[in-house]
Each structure stands twice: as structure tokens, then as C-alpha cells.
Structure 1
Amino acid sequence: MNNFLSRFILTFSLLLSVYCVSGQTFLFQETFDEVNGSNSGVDNTANNVGWNSTCPSSENAQDYFNVQNGKLEGRDTNGEAVFTTDAIDISVAPQGVILRATFSESGDLEGCTPGCVSNCLDWVRFEWRVDGGPWTLHPASIPCTNASAGSSYILLGNMAQPQETFTSGCISGDSLEIRIAVANWAASEYWRIDDLEVFTEQSTGQDSTLSTCDTASFDLFSALGSNPLPSVSGVWSGPSVLSNGSLGTFTPGVNVSGVYTYSLPSNLCPTSTDITVNSIISIEDSTQLTACDSVQVGGLWYSSDTTLVDSFVTASGCDSIVTVEVLIQSTLFGNDTINGCDSILFDGQYYYSDTVVNDSIPVGAGCDSIVAVALVFGGNSTPTAICQGAPLYLNSSGFGVLDASLVDNGSFDDCSIDTLLLDRDTFYCSDVGLSPITVTLTAVDGGGS
């Protein structure tokens, strides 16, 4: 069991050494560790990308372009010799990849003047293509119209230093092919290629969201997804300035919530990661609760005004305090009277006799005021008779009939006057002079005289 575990850990470590170095992930890595004389092979990653080299102008076994002592070596190629790879899958790196190769030489390699006005014999051309498209020359290539240089080169003649490493810019796509051509013309002249690599740069991690109610400072870098490697070149940006450089220390109460972006400006392929920070030290809120007569809050009943303070823990784990002002309104009761004559219209209904009805008047918080309304018929007072004297002329038969309207001088009642009657209306010659009479008023509501 222990032996198995040890092997597992060792294997895991070896895989890491192949794929990741200082945060770089290799999609292609060729160290030319094949046996001497090999002109084909597969790279050192688990992707097993194939490659091959050709030297079509070699004249004998001493003219070659193949593996020698851990390098791809071109000796006396007598013209262009070419190294190519199969397609390398770079679709797994949507942010882009970097291509890098190291070159060295030995012997007395001939150069040519700038612009290639004379024959350029000994040179190196470095190019690649994406998704089967046109070949792209390394940006360090110098254009050359001389046909023997194959249109451009990155190295020409003797190198100024023992070895040089050339790195591409950011390359993106689904597949990548590499092509390197060399040329030299003497058995004492050698071009060598080593450490040909395609890799992704150091990652900035994965986007994440951080909700916290801590009051102590904390580093946003530790919250980045996928555990990126620390880098002193890392830069944070956001709605407020973080401290401690690439660690991005967030201090609640000083820094504000929002989206903070971590980036590596030194990367050739731009990459950045966002962390959304929700920093809540505490939540305080207040509300007002209005009820009628009584209300139940938290299992307790309240029948008078009071103020309640409650605390609870939110989903983010932060303590919250809520103040509730409880306002109790009471139901009101009252009485009223409405007088009428022959009928009373109340709340859309006619009434014709004395009665009491209840009326509800809505007010705030659902409390209704209840009013008992007495409907009373007959007015508020008895009819009032106002009379005046009236002359009466007797006819030839010696009598006269008095019309009651002649003695009415504006009699009135709360309701309308129904009848006005005289206790006598016929007078004779014997009644000549002032004769007292009694006037009786009858109102519509049946009021008295």
C-alpha cells in the first residue's frame, strides 16, 4: 500500500515537471532526446505530437539534419533542410500560447551584407501556421530577397553569442504547426536546435465570488480559482485600491465591494481574472408594522405601541439587526341620528320606518370605525302654524264658506304640510264681526297641529 502511494506521488510529480514549470503548461515540448541519427520522433508531453526532419540535398552520410546528442543538428546540408511538426492541439488554451526555440551553431558560418545583396549561404528560418493557414515568419525575421535565404531569416552566419532563444508573440487558434529550415555548406558548419516548446503562460486563475462579513483584512489572491502561482508581477485593479501588491489585500471598511481584476501584464497573452467581493460588515434595517387592536410578532401578542429589536444571521453569515416599530390602532365606536320624513335613503337602501343600522368606516391598518345610525321619521319638531285674518263675504242666502288657504300666512314643518284644516269654515249673519277659529296643520310625517 505504501509503495503504491509512493509511486503515485512520484508519477504525479513527474507529470507536473513535464507539463508545468513556473506556472507554464506545455502543449508541446521537444528536447530531442531520441537516439542519434533520428529524423523523426514524438515530443516529451503526453500529447505525443510527431515531428520529422528532411535533408534532401545531402550528398553522403556526413550531410544530415537529425538528432545528435540531445539536439537537432544540421551539418553540411548543401541547401535547405526542413524540420516540421504534426498539428499541435492548442484549442485547450483559448487565451493563446507561446512558441519558443533555442538555437546554437559552430564552425565558420558565412553571412551576407544587410539586404542580402550578396549570396547568403548559412541561415535559419523559423515559422509556424495556425489551423492550416498560411505560414507566419517569426517577427524577428529580416526580409531578404536573395533566393538562397528563402526570403527571410532569423539567424545568418556566425552568431554573436553561444546560443539564442527566439519567442513568438501570443498565438491563438485550434491547431499549430511548426517549421524550421536551416542551410549550411561545409562539413565544419553546424546549426543546432534545442528545447522547442509550445506553452501557455502563467494563469491568473478562475473567476469567483467572495461574500464575507469579516472585519479583518484578507488577501484576494488566495480566493482566485484554480490556485494560480504567486507572481510579483501580478496587478490588481478595481473600485478601490488594494494593498500588498499582487496579494491584493482587502480591508473591510476601507475597500468597497465590487469586481476586482487580477492580471499579469508581463504575459504575452493577455489574461485576467475577476473576483466579485461582497463585503458586508453588518446589516441594519428598520421597519414599521401597523395593526388593528393587536398583532402577533415572534410568537408574542402586542396590543399597544412598542419597539422591537431583532438580530439574525444572513445567508452570507453576517449579523443583521432589524428594528420594528409596532403601532396599534383601535377600533372606534360611535352613534349618529338621521331624521327623515316619508323615507330615508341610507347606504343605497330606502327605509320607511324608525330603525338603527350599523355603518363601518374604513381607516388605517384595517381598523373600521363602527357607527350606530338611528333613522328617525317625523322630523325634529311639530309643525308651526302662522295665521292671518281674512275677510269673508256672505252670499244672498246669508252665509259664506271660508277657504283655509286664506288664513295661512306661511305655516311650515321639517317635512311638507299635508293638510291645513279649520275647526269651522261656514259663517252666517249672526257671526258678523271678529270670529275666532282654530287652524289644524297635518304634516306628511304625521306631526301634530
Structure 2
Amino acid sequence: TCSATVTVEDNVAPIAICQNATVVLDASGNGSITTSDIDNGSNDACGIASMSLDQTSFDCSNVGANTVTLTVTDNNGNVSTCSATVTVQDNTVPTAVCQDTTIQLDASGNGSITTSDIDNGSNDACGIASMSLDQTSFDCSNVGANTVTLTVTDNNGNVSTCSATVTVQDNTAPTAVCQNATVVLDASGNGSITTSDID
């Protein structure tokens, strides 16, 4: 008789199977995935030892399509990879914060405001793209309280609004212009004038 050593080797790489995934960022602008989000049934006859991803965390800079790689290692050290697309979405509306304001009409009876007069710290984790007001100009017909709406749009197109009161005041005194007048007394020694004679 004799004996021999039979060395059994597993040189077959595991089968890495990926699936695409979507990540919705939270209010702070962050999101993440795990291997289970990307793995779609990777397998190996001798068993899977581990799986890993080359990227698991995402933020506002990743909005859109991102390619990630899943690495699958079997129990005998054989490695296989596959790729998937992770679509990152920012669906969180910005926080619109308004403040009331008061404006004085000028001598011509006009006044105006800008978004900075109404905005009181509107914010968004992914940044503000623009702000606008539904009314910026005021005149004598607006004296008193007026409701305006501030529209805030973030860098990914999400929109939020808030309202504020714009109090319009006319504190400009009128310009009084007088003219002299002559009154001729009548036979009874009386005469009179009206405001139009002096104005």
C-alpha cells in the first residue's frame, strides 16, 4: 500500500450579482446604503465569507447617479465584483423662515422691499438656489398691512414658502403751497375766501 495527499483547491470565484438602488437624503443632507441594498443574490458553492462596498455614504454632492462596486469574497479567498447605480435624491423642501417688516413711502408715494427684508434665515442642507417675493413694490394704495409670500427654492428644485406682513406707512407731510389773494368787500362791508383762493 501507499498513501498520497490529495490537495483540494477552490479556485472558482464567487458569482457577484448586483442591483441598483435609490437613496433619499435626510433633512441633514445625508444618506447611506449597506451591502444588502446592492447584493442581489451573490453566491458561491463553498460559501460567502464577506461583502463590501467602495462607497456607502452619500450627501448633497452626490445627488444623481453614482456607480458603486460590490466586492464578494468566498470562504477560500476568491474574489469577484459587480457594479450598480445608486441614484441619490434630495426630496426635502427647504425651510422657509419669514419676518415682518415696515416700510415708509417716499415723497413720491412709493416704497419697495427685497427678499433680504423678509427672509429670516431660510435654509436647506443642500443649499438655497433662489428666493423670490410675490410683491416688492408698494404705493399709497397699500398703506396699512399687506401679506407677502416668500418662495424659497433649493439647489435641487424643492420649493417652500412662508408669509409675512409688510406694514406700509406714509409719514411724509404734504407740501403746502399758498398764494396771496385780494378780497373786495361788498356794499355791506363783507367779503369771503375759500381754500382754493389760497391754495
| TM-score relative to the length of structure 2 | 0.49
Pair member with larger Rg: 1
- Greater strand proportion: 1
